[in-house]
Amino acid sequence: MAKILAVDDEPAILEMIENILAKDGHLVTKVSNPLKLNMEELHRYDLILLDIMMPGIDGFELCKKIRTLVDCPILFLTAKTEENSLVNGLSLGADDYISKPFGVMELRARIHAHLRREHREHSVRMVLGRVCIQISQKKLLIDDKELSLTKAEYEICEFLAKNRGQVFSKEQILEKVFGFDSESNDSTIITHIKNIRSKFAEYNYTPIKTVWGIGYKWEE
């Protein structure tokens, strides 16, 4: 199941998209007024569908704003087939487009293809807000600058980021990151978290939150 955001000023189009994608188990959030889009929630979506011709702000401008916040696939829904318009849209950060009117099978196939590709890419890279974690290289970047982390600090960040939103106790982090046979203890995790936060603080960013009495979680 994927979380998909669909933005279109035509309610009938939104209903159709929801009905089609729900058959594949996807959860669709519908927004008919692009000016009321909650930009702080965008990181929760696995894929975004954007209509181009909308009142208040068109899809091109909205795509430009969204792309600075998320790395998920963005697909345009457009009745405009002029080459210049499509080139313009793709240059702003969109990944693909689907021309209206579109068929059921086409929409499902295109969505599936992009989600499948995204899954492969995120097996080696995660983008969470201002942070990019290059898993294959064991590097964490913030605002495109590498954060100097020790191996243990990086492993803690990767674990919490992969399970963002979930709260873990110090004992759970110790077990998941260092293993059952680790000679470390809870105070080690506290120290690592403190050091990680200190390094993030240089960028005025604190993605690791404390849940008092329970533990820690990654939350942008």
Q: Where are the domains of the chain?
A: 3-118, 125-218
Lowest mean pLDDT among 4-8, 124-128, 184-188, 193-197: 184-188
Q: Does domain 3-118 have CATH number 3.30.565.10?
A: no
Q: What is the mean predicted confidence (pLDDT) over 87-106?
A: 81
pLDDT tens column, 174-210: 888 876 554 456 778 888 999 999 999 999 999 999 9
Q: Which token pair is 34?
A: 């692009």
Compute how many other C-beta atoms are within 10 angstroms of the C-beta atom of residue 189. Answer: 23
Please report which confidence band the pLDDT of residue 84 belongs to, taking 50, 70 and 90 as the band edges: low
What b/e string do you get for 118-157 counting C-beta neighbours within 10 Å, with b at 16 or more?
Answer: beeebeeebbbbbbbbebeeeebebeeeebebeebbbbbb
What integer pLDDT is reported at residue 92 of this predicted model?
77
pLDDT at residue 57 above 80?
yes
Portion of the chain with pLDDT greater than 90, in percent: 48
CATH architecture of 125-218: Orthogonal Bundle (1.10)
CA-CA distance, 113 to 105, in Å (whole number)? 12
Tell the burial category of 101 from Cβ atoms under 10 Å away from its Cβ (0-12, 13-18, 19+): exposed
Q: What average pLDDT does this structure show over 154-178?
A: 90
* Averaged confidence pLDDT in the chain: 87
What value does the mean pLDDT take over residues 61-69? 87
What is the pLDDT at residue 182?
47
- pTM beyond 0.85, yes or no: no
H helices within 50-185, ranges in order?
59-67, 83-91, 104-122, 151-162, 170-178
213/106 Cα distance (integer angstroms): 50
Rounded CA separation 196/110 (Å): 40
Inter-residue contact 52 to 58 (CB < 8 Å): yes
